[in-house]
Amino acid sequence: MRTSNLSVPDTVREIITKNRSIYDCVKMDLVNYTALAVKIQKEVEAQMGGPVNLNTIVVAIKRYADSFEKKDDMQSESALKNARLSLTDGILDIKFSSQDFAMEDAMALMDGFTRIDPDYEFFRFTDSFRFLTEDISDVRKLLESFSSHKNFSQTGLAKISIHMPQSGNESDVVSYVSEILHDNGIELVNAFFGQDDIILVLHEKDAARAYEILRGEISR
């Protein structure tokens, strides 16, 4: 089991990456950073759990935009060099509202997931708890015991876990991977970025091709 606590730059990258139109505008340098910061400030604050200075968001956007300029320099040596990939099909994305979900409930659910699928992912946000786990009958039964709690689940998913060696260029890797998949017509359902790992959530129909594309980047 892994948990994730995103920083402001991580959160900004995640928001931009999941919005194709904003992503393309940032990539092509067609967006005013301050205007974009105002647009996404509430979403950033919701994920961070408190007020975030507008200038901090502007700086995070600029850093992410600057990372695209380095892409040409990175072509000679893949940004994914020495990375390790793993692909898991049959993933269930479960989101619980924290409004009626006490911490003891979260702990009980985490304990249940640990017994069933020790490799599940747990993400805590201000207004929700999120789990990525295998879509199997035992998980379904566990969720039924929490049916009184508000939840949303999405099936038919897969995840690609990218483990990166300590390189200090996580932002570059995120933009590099996102652009490669976008250019190949693969849209992410969700993405979670940490210090050493990038978790990509995709539709199962796209996962195998995305895996081969990224594996090709590692080997070239």
Average pLDDT, the chain: 83
Amino acid, single-letter form, for residue 22: I
Q: Which two tokens stand for residue 43?
A: 């979403």
Phi and psi at residue 77, in whole multiples of 5°? -140, 115
For 159-205, the pLDDT digits (tens) are: 999 887 765 556 567 777 878 888 888 888 888 876 568 889 999 99
Q: Which two tokens stand for residue 177?
A: 């991977």
Question: Is this prediction's pTM over 0.85?
Answer: no
- CA separation for the pair 164, 82 (Å, rounded): 7
For 100-154, the pLDDT digits (tens) are: 777 777 788 888 988 898 888 888 777 777 889 999 999 888 888 887 777 788 9
